[in-house]
Amino acid sequence: MQISNVLALLFIFTYRCLALKASNCKISLLGDEKNSLSIDSIESTNSNPAVQDVINVSKLDAIIEFSYEVSEAYDQTHLLIGYPEANLESSLEGIVIKDGDKTKILYKIEFSNLSKALLSKSIIEQSPITVSLLLARNGDSKNILNEVFQVQLAKDIKVNYEAPSRYGIKDEITFSFRELESTAPEYICKVFSVVMAVAALALLVTWLTSGVISSVKFPSGSQFIYFIVFIGLIGGIEFVFTQYFLGSSIFETLYYTALLAAPAVLIGTKFLRGFNEL
């Protein structure tokens, strides 16, 4: 029975020695000696806050100094200031001061440099800000992440902060569409098309009455069919472009032009080769 007690005490002693430890901790509000506190040590085995009392701060330009000593180097030495439960925290890295075999870590908490969202929450809700110590080494599972003390800001401190409206009703979004480009009125386009059609018809009648067409050799047989189809395809392409000028979209114009252009090139090639041999 005595051996088991000795082994248990030895295990506890070894565990305490291997635990991460910050000793000679001091907390002081600059300019106010009444708010100076001392803590023997903070260990990774501790789960309760190191200081139960709340430090009251009455000015935004107040500065709290927090320092402690460590016997070995750490990869992370940070203070976490804020509200862990609300995921609203600021991180402050410590200043390392070596004095012989001892290493001192010093923090200066300048409240004027903290997040305005954090300060505003503390002032409006009158809820204390939690200050936690993070000491960690790579590969070590027994790290320190303990609450050290709390700070309460006075209600009359002024902080210019406007919370972003992430949720709720937003202002109506207005958008001004670009005005349509100025073009000729539709009736002018139609009148122009009719005038062009009448002019083409008058030209054809003039050729017929003057005997110009009678001297031209018209194709016959299969060449005549190619001629009719070729003229029809060219007329179709002209019709598509006429529709574009009358208001059809460019996409419809390109689509129908592509459908008519391919057979027009093939049939036109066959017709012109045969017509050249006449």
Do you know the residue count of the chain?
278
274: left (phi over 0), alpha (psi -120 to 50) or beta: alpha
Which tokens in the block code for residue 260?
């008519």
pLDDT at 270: 81
Q: Give the burial class of 64: count Cβ atoms within 10 A of its Cβ; 0-12 exposed, 13-18 middle, 19 or more buried.
A: buried
Strands annotated E in 30-175? 32-43, 54-57, 63-70, 76-83, 88-93, 95-99, 102-110, 129-136, 144-153
Q: Which residues pair with 28 in a beta bridge?
A: 65
Classify domain 20-153 at the CATH superfamily level. Answer: Immunoglobulins (2.60.40.10)
- Torsion, Cα of 125, 62, 133, 102 (10° steps): -170
pLDDT greater than 70 at residue 47? no
Domain ranges of the chain: 20-153, 186-276
Q: Please give the share of the chain, as a percent, with pLDDT higher than 70.
A: 77
Beta strands 54-57 and 144-153, pairing class: parallel
When pLDDT is cut at 50, 70 and 90, the band that residue 16 belongs to is very low
Under the banding of pLDDT at 50, 70 and 90, the label for residue 81 is: very high
